[in-house]
Amino acid sequence: MSEARRSAAALEVRGLDVYYGHSHALQGVDLTLDAGVFSVVGRNGMGKTTLCKAIMGLVSVSGGSIRVRGEDITRRPPAQIARLGVGYVPQGRRLWRSLSVDEHLRLAGGMRSGAWTVERIYDTFPRLAERKDHGGGQLSGGEQQMLAISRALLTNPQLLIMDEPTEGLAPVIVAQVEEMLLQLGEDGDMSVLVIEQNIGVATAISRNVAIMVNGRINRIIDSARLSADRELQQRLLGVGLHAELEPDIDMTAAGGETKPAAQPPRSSGPIRVYISNPTPPTRWSQPVSIGRIEAAARTLSTQVSRLDETARRKREPTTTAQASGPPAVLVVGTLDTKGTELRFIRDIIGEAGLRTRLVDVSTSGKHATCDVSAQEIALNHGRGGSAVFGPDRGAAVTAMAEAFANWIKRQGNVAGVISAGGSGAASLVAPAMRTLPVGVPKLIISSVASGDVAPYVGPADITMMYSVTDVQGLNSISRAVLSNGANAIIGMVKARLDQREDRERAASAGLPSIGITMFGVTTPAVQKIAADLRDDFECLVFHATGVGGRSMEKLVESGQLAGVIDLTTTEICDLLMGGVFPATEDRFSAVIRTRLPFVGSVGALDMVNFGAPDTVPERYRGRKFHVHNPQVTLMRTTAEENERMGRWIGERLNQMDGPVRFFLPEGGVSALDARGQPFWDPEADAALFRTLERTVRLTGNRQLIRVKQNINDPEFASIIVSAFRTLFGRAGARRRVAR
């Protein structure tokens, strides 16, 4: 009996129905989580939170069953479900303001014994240890989320249910939560069901993702496919009429993957709109009958949507009017708290003769004197201002950041962007700055700029300046720092404007730019490739440290590169094995979308990067290591790991419709993988090559080519150069590239 229970799925939901009055919230939901981490995504109102509550016994179930490790928990009380080993991190955190951090943890720690203890929580979340005597109401949003997750972990559950764990969190905290979820999945001690709206997080932590639509599981899809397909994301998760997704629903037998049915042509006839409460309800109102709802329904012409769009545009006169005209420097921030400081910056820039626009991205809903109001920015969110100006500050910040990013994409006259504030302001403006082309000056003055700024900067050329004092009022220090920041953006913008004509003239006769990836152990190859192509191409070399690959693909996406020589794909090692220089799941996707000429190889796939030797994860003890320097430790990949990487890369090469040549150097994939060197392992390399050859579907346009040499041999570099010239066009041909 115990063996059967251990082999049962961590969670099995079959035909689950939940009603709220006459509203059918969950409609025959089928879902199976065998083990590890599984993500469920969907728009607001699709039933995701109701699914969590149904599993935990917090709402009544009308039909169907819920099993955890083979045991039926349907309709059991929540306390009993928790004692059976189901933990819950609710949306909104639900902390007690009067209890301290330590009291929260001690209270939860007595339910079930196991690996998670209060001491382990403090080791995992050092910030909670620092705040252990603070009340729940005194914590920031990120700290509250840490505490809510920790409280659930201390129950040592077999199954952990997490409802929107990253909602409203700063990028740094989101990254910590994502890393923790990945670690939980790798440890295998518990299974995790994650309800998430952040597609990046959902696809990073889970191999497959379930998509909820109108109270049903619409489909279960491979996370890599969902992450790479922006059109699919918009169609399944974008904002619009719920009915648009109905044709996609084609439920198969339990446990099988759903397949989308062919979508019929959209009707151009009238649309019926039903209102659940034809008359305003009161506390004594009875549920409205179906007959009354039918009778009160009204008919809309399809022209209504066009009229609504016209009305929306009329509400945004400033946005439309200001999208053209002379270039302007955007001074952006939360004017309800940083108005004095931002206007101080604005005035300095204006006195230098540059046009400015003061943009408010505060989420309080207060009106401020500015050029672009927070209300105008909020209209650019998919759900409008109601999504931005809500009671949850964390959710409001996330929504405003999305709205501002959408707004700035529509602006055609941005000469530069500058902002000042704390972590919240940086989180608000950084995503929008990252959407701007490389070269547009971007500067953030912030109190977080002396720490890890990678979550804010990402692959973009954002400059961050430490504010020294908090950005709170003007004093001798803040005036000096803010003045330096303002004058820095003035210098960058003026230099760029002065050089624009020169750049445009040079571009008309200039060389096309190509991206090349390099690591220390592939430097000789890249140097020879760049030297051989120098007369015909501008070679931009990107250091393959995680952000390097992302930066190159950002330029690919923006049309600033004419081709790619992705010689060094080592970031995939760190992505799949947990190194410190990981790529994202979106790696190669820009090339897939743009179909640029692509020449690639397996450079440095023999190594996973870690920090100092004592930072190597315990699970890798006993492996083959090479200490590159006191702060960098390299681990040799095994045949099994190479097979995993081969499948990952091969699947993405299969999605490339442009010209592709991918080379396999049999003499070794790095300087350390040459004969007589520490990482020389022909069997491990052979496993990588075999897997790629089995995975990649060869066509006339997509070829996989074995070469006898080591990747750094001059002959190998010459082969790469010849292949790229063939793909790009005849040698010496010069093409103008959009810049």
For 541-582, write each residue's pLDDT tens digit: 999 988 888 889 888 887 888 899 999 999 999 999 999 999
Place of tokens 């705040």: 131
pLDDT above 80 for 406: yes
* Per-residue pLDDT at 540: 92
Looking from the CA of 370 toward its CB, the CA atoms found within 13 Å total 29
Distance (Å, rounded) from C-alpha 722 to C-alpha 566? 15
Q: 737, 440, 303, 429: which is closest to 562 by C-alpha?
A: 737
Query: Is the pLDDT confidence value at 252 over 50?
Result: no
What count of other Cβ atoms lies within 10 Å of the Cβ of residue 165?
Answer: 26
pTM, to two decimals: 0.45
Q: Which 3 state secondary structure label does DSSP give 526?
A: helix
- φ, ψ of residue 271 in degrees (nearest 5): -120, 135
Q: What amino acid is encoded at 337 in this protein?
A: T
Alpha-carbon gap, residue 560 to 505, rounded angstroms: 16
Q: Which residues in 23-178 belong to E strands, given as ranges?
A: 23-33, 37-41, 63-68, 71-72, 86-89, 159-163
Q: Which of 190, 179, 198, 161 is nearest to 125 (CA)?
A: 179
Which has more confidence, 271 or 163? 163
Give the pLDDT mean for 169-190. 73
Residue 270: per-residue pLDDT: 46
Token code pair at residue 72: 């039926």
Q: Which residues contact 736 (CB under 8 A, 6 or more apart)?
A: 507, 508, 510, 512
Nearest to 492 by CA among 349, 381, 665: 349
Coil, helix or strand at residue 95: coil
**Cα separation, 40 vs 597, whole angstroms:** 36
Q: Which residues lie closer than 8 Å to 231 by C-beta, 6 or more apart?
A: none
Question: Residue 672: which pLDDT band, with cuts at 50, 70 and 90?
Answer: very high
User: Whose CA is closest to 33, among 61, 13, 53, 3?
Assistant: 13
For the residues 158-165, what does the mean pLDDT come to? 86
Q: Can you list the alpha helix ranges (DSSP code H) found in 22-114?
A: 48-55, 78-83, 101-108
Q: Which residue has the tokens 């009380």?
A: 77
Answer yes or no: is pLDDT of 308 > 60: no
Q: Which amino acid is at 535?
A: D
Q: What is the pLDDT of residue 712?
A: 95
Nearest to 691 by CA among 576, 529, 597: 576
Q: Which amino acid is at 689?
A: F
On the question of pLDDT at 31 being above 50, the answer is: yes
Predicted pLDDT at 531: 93
Instruction: Out of 38-42, 295-299, 385-389, pick the least confident.
Output: 295-299
pLDDT in tens, 72-98: 999 899 888 888 888 888 877 677 777
Region of residue 559 (left: phi > 0; alpha: psi -120 to 50; beta: else): left
Write out the two tokens for 185.
């999945």
Q: Between residues 179 and 521, which one has the greater pLDDT?
A: 521
- Cα–Cα distance, 426 to 422 (Å, whole number): 6
- Rounded Cα distance between 224 and 434, Å, is 22
Q: CA-CA distance, 290 to 284, in Å (whole number)?
A: 19
Q: How far is residue 381's CA from residue 99's CA, in Å, rounded to a whole number? A: 36
Tokens of 364: 């309080």
Work out the average pLDDT over 485-514.
76
Q: Over range 665-677, report the average pLDDT.
A: 94
pLDDT at res. 162: 87
Exposed e or buried b per residue across 372-395, where buried means at least 16 C-beta atoms within 10 angstroms of its C-beta: bbbebbbbbbeebbebbbeebebb
Percent of the chain past pLDDT 70, that is, above it, reads 81
Closest CA to 438 of 540, 323, 533, 564: 540
- Predicted confidence at residue 293, as pLDDT, reads 55
Phi-psi region at 253: left, alpha or beta (left = phi > 0; alpha = psi -120 to 50): beta
Which pLDDT belongs to residue 315? 38
Q: How far apart are CA 361 and CA 375, in angstroms?
A: 8
Give 226 or 490, the one with higher predicted confidence: 490
Whether 624 has a pLDDT exceeding 80, the answer reads yes
Q: What Cα–Cα distance (Å) separates residue 72 from each residue in 8, 40, 136, 155?
A: 12, 22, 35, 20
Q: Rounded to an integer, what distance in angstroms lies between the CA atom of residue 648 and that of residue 641?
A: 11
Average pLDDT of the segment spanning 706-732: 85
Residue by residue, DSSP assigns 157-211 as -SEEEEESTTTT--HHHHHHHHHHHHHHHHH-SSEEEEE-S-HHHHHHH-SEEEE
Tell me the pairing of strands 271-273 and 298-300: antiparallel
Indicate if the pLDDT at residue 322 is higher than 50: no
Out of 378-392, 523-537, 571-585, least confident range = 378-392
User: Would you state the pLDDT for residue 307?
Assistant: 34
Three-state DSSP class for residue 539: strand
Closest CA to 663 of 629, 689, 628, 644: 689
| 202 pLDDT higher than 90 | no
Placement of tokens 């790009």 in the chain = 728
Mean pLDDT of the chain: 80
Q: Which residues touch 247 (CB under 8 Å, ≥6 apart)?
A: 260, 261, 262, 263, 264
Mean pLDDT of 509-521: 86
Three-state DSSP class for residue 23: strand
pLDDT of 503: 54
Taking 50 as the threshold, does the pLDDT of residue 728 lie above it?
yes
Q: Which of 720, 563, 704 is nearest to 646 (CA)?
A: 704
Task: Provide the percentage of residues in the chain whose pLDDT is more than 90.
Answer: 30
What is the C-alpha to C-alpha distance for residues 375 and 518, in angstroms, rounded to an integer?
Answer: 45
Identify the bridge partners of residue 565 per DSSP, sorted by sequence position.
Answer: 516, 599
Amino acid (one-letter) located at 102: D
Q: Is residue 227 predicted with pLDDT exceeding 90? A: no
Query: 114-133: string of b/e by CB count within 10 Å (b at 16+)?
Result: bebebeebbebbebbeebee
Hey, what amino acid is at 50? Answer: T
